[in-house]
Copies of this chain bind each other. A is one copy, B any other.
Amino acid sequence: MSDAKIRRPRAETPKGFRDYFGAEVTERKAMLDKIAAVYHRYGFDPLETSAVETVESLGKFLPDVDRPNEGVFAWQEDEADWLALRYDLTAPLARVAAQYRNDLPSPYRRYAMGPVWRNEKPGPGRFRQFYQCDADTVGAPSVAADAEICAMLADALEAAGIERGDYVVKVNNRKVLNGVMEVAGVLDPSDPEKFADERGIVLRAIDKIDRLGVEGVRALLGEGRKDASGDFTKGAGLSESQIRVLMQFIQAKMYIDQELALGSVKFARIDHPAAEIFHAAALRQDSPTKKALVLRNLFTCSYLGEIVGNSAQGKQGALELFEIAFTLGQLGYGPDRIVIDPGVVRGLGYYTGPVYEAELTFEILDEKGRKRQFGSVAGGGRYDDLVKRFTGQSVPATGVSIGVDRLLAALHAKGRISTDTTGPVVVTVMDRDRMADYMSMVSDLRNAGIRAETYLGNPKNFGNQLKYADKRNSPIAIIQGGNEADAGTVILKDLILGAKIAQNATLEEWKDRPAQVEVPRADLVAAVRRMLDQN
């Protein structure tokens, strides 16, 4: 059988998957280490679950509400369970919280970092394996837990390198949304299944407000919407008055901002012991701007309390939002970092209370060269029913997930990544019989903590050795031919200076500092260190 007849396998990453090389790996690791340090300081412990779960345990909680059955990579064990790759880090946490409920501390506070897999159609920048970095508190009924996660998210973004002012954590509450749905007549507390389809459309429409704009959302709440390509998306079919209630809610933050700018906010009383303290604190501020800033979250909650009318759930939601805003305000996290914004709904169906999302507010150029806001890099919320699936007992939980690749992309866009991409010192091979000598030079360098290696390719063509050093971004090449060996010396070639000279240096500079020196073999380590320090 000749080689030509064998069908060779294609050397290809599977569609939608990718490989990470060198700095791509170390940059992500450095970022995750910084975030983990914040999670640790907040008292969270690491958890690493297996990549594989039973399909039964994973459940059907993928964000894509249109195709709840799809989206996972799954296979059947021989005449046994179906297994699948995890699609997020929350479903495995719910399984762990149920499985080890008698052994884990309660509340159980854990963070997790690792790849997740989605069996979706890949697209540009859209991969089927990507990293998430989560922190959750399981068994914490009070919204203090949600407030803490929001503060921690802000701290984690800053630790990763996103500067204050370049991000905002937006907070909403599903209960307020449900209250508004009640008022708009698309939720009947006595028959929760009724109007489920309409509510699905409403949720998805709000979630897309950044892309569709206010008019697009309004159209989807009504008859429907024709997009640029002519495709028609059927709407929820709500009446004008229903739509008005919902739009009032979605645009609450914008309304408050306008009113604050006009100085004409009406402050409806919030039925909470802290409201007065908060209001008084705001009034003590020495400038109208600071006053407005402190009041902003408070006013939004107050306004939401009005919109939800008599809905008990809605009122409870507005109060919870107030508690979150108040607690965060006391800790110094004002609306410049964390803002109450009913425009946020989060796609996932399983949220039951506060939801939050971190948005980066600076602009980047999209693939078509248009300016746009960078957008969301993290999100989460309260999900009190995920553990109940397993145990039958409701377990209150809340948590956040950071989209690792998007956050890394943002840090790159802002020039906040500083990776040391310096390659190793390369000891070239002039005489292959003296390999042990070259390796002992490298060994001396390594023992002194200097990254170094011998050229291990075919040494015949010396030019290839220097090209290799170049490709590795090597700072220095070491050369010892027969003459040098006889003289007991080595030559150090400064590749960084060499590259500079080749590009644009003048003769003067070249004179001052030679790009090549010959030193005694015994001085190799010291000479290399000197040359490294110069660059």
Q: Which residues of A contact B (CB under 8 A)?
A: 3, 8-14, 17-22, 24-26, 40-43, 45-54, 56-57, 59, 73-75, 81, 83, 85, 95-96, 98-99, 105-107, 109, 115, 117, 128-129, 137, 139-142, 144-145, 147-148, 151, 273-274, 323, 326-327, 330-332, 389-392, 423-424, 426, 432-433, 435-437, 439-440, 443, 446, 449-458, 468, 471-472
Q: Could you say which residues of chain B place their CB within 8 Å of the CB of A129?
A: 50-52
A50-B19, A73-B75 are contacts. A142–B11 as well, Cβ < 8 Å? no
Question: Closest residue of chain B to A451, judged by CB?
Answer: B41
**Do B468 and A52 touch across chains, with their CB atoms under 8 A apart?**
no
Question: Closest residue of chain B to A24, judged by CB?
Answer: B48
14 A-B residue pairs with CB within 8 Å: A8-B389, A9-B59, A10-B54, A11-B98, A19-B50, A40-B451, A41-B452, A43-B452, A43-B453, A51-B117, A52-B117, A52-B129, A107-B455, A330-B437
**Do B46 and A25 touch across chains, with their CB atoms under 8 A apart?**
yes
A52-B129, A468-B106 are contacts. A47–B21 as well, Cβ < 8 Å? yes
**A52 is contacted by which of B17, B21, B139, B274 (Cβ under 8 Å)?**
B17
Question: Cα distance A79–B407 when bound, in Å?
Answer: 35
A57-B12, A105-B472, A140-B456 are contacts. A19–B96 as well, Cβ < 8 Å? yes
**A390 is contacted by which of B11, B453, B456 (Cβ under 8 Å)?**
B11
Question: Cα distance A21–B139 when bound, in Å?
Answer: 18
**A392 is contacted by which of B3, B47, B331, B468 (Cβ under 8 Å)?**
B3
Q: Could you say which residues of chain B place their CB within 8 Å of the CB of A47?
A: 19-22, 25
**A83 is contacted by which of B51, B73, B274, B451 (Cβ under 8 Å)?**
B73
Counting chain B CB atoms within 10 Å of each CB, the highest count among A18, A74, A109, A446 belongs to: A446
**Do B109 and A144 touch across chains, with their CB atoms under 8 A apart?**
no
A73-B52, A436-B274, A451-B43 are contacts. A105–B327 as well, Cβ < 8 Å? no
Q: Could you say which residues of chain B place their CB within 8 Å of the CB of A453?
A: 42-43, 109, 148
Q: Could you say which residues of chain B place their CB within 8 Å of the CB of A3?
A: 392
**Do A457 and B9 touch across chains, with their CB atoms under 8 A apart?**
no
**Do B392 and A8 touch across chains, with their CB atoms under 8 A apart?**
yes
Tell me the minimal C-beta distance from A491 to chain B in angstroms: 20
Question: Cα distance A435–B11 when bound, in Å?
Answer: 58
Question: Cα distance A385–B104 when bound, in Å?
Answer: 49
Copies in the complex: 2
**Do B115 and A51 touch across chains, with their CB atoms under 8 A apart?**
yes
**Do A45 and B57 touch across chains, with their CB atoms under 8 A apart?**
no
A19-B47, A75-B74, A432-B142 are contacts. A107–B456 as well, Cβ < 8 Å? yes
Question: Cα distance A440–B43 when bound, in Å?
Answer: 15
A11-B390, A25-B48, A98-B11 are contacts. A42–B148 as well, Cβ < 8 Å? no
**Do B456 and A50 touch across chains, with their CB atoms under 8 A apart?**
no
**Do A9 and B390 touch across chains, with their CB atoms under 8 A apart?**
yes
**Do B54 and A26 touch across chains, with their CB atoms under 8 A apart?**
no
**Do A144 and B83 touch across chains, with their CB atoms under 8 A apart?**
no
**Do B50 and A144 touch across chains, with their CB atoms under 8 A apart?**
no
Q: Could you say which residues of chain B place their CB within 8 Å of the CB of A54?
A: 9-10, 12, 14
**Do B456 and A331 touch across chains, with their CB atoms under 8 A apart?**
no
Tell me the minimal C-beta distance from A345 to chain B in angstroms: 25
Question: Closest residue of chain B to A469, judged by CB?
Answer: B105
Q: Could you say which residues of chain B place their CB within 8 Å of the CB of A433?
A: 273
Q: Could you say which residues of chain B place their CB within 8 Å of the CB of A451?
A: 40-43
Q: Could you say which residues of chain B place their CB within 8 Å of the CB of A24?
A: 48
**Do A9 and B41 touch across chains, with their CB atoms under 8 A apart?**
no
Q: Could you say which residues of chain B place their CB within 8 Å of the CB of A452?
A: 41, 43
Question: Cα distance A45–B21 when bound, in Å?
Answer: 8
**Do B327 and A436 touch across chains, with their CB atoms under 8 A apart?**
yes
Question: Cα distance A332–B18 when bound, in Å?
Answer: 41
Q: Could you say which residues of chain B place their CB within 8 Å of the CB of A450?
A: 41
Per CB-CB distance, the 9 closest pairs between chain A and chain B, nearest first, are A43-B453, A11-B98, A43-B424, A17-B50, A140-B456, A75-B75, A25-B46, A11-B99, A11-B390
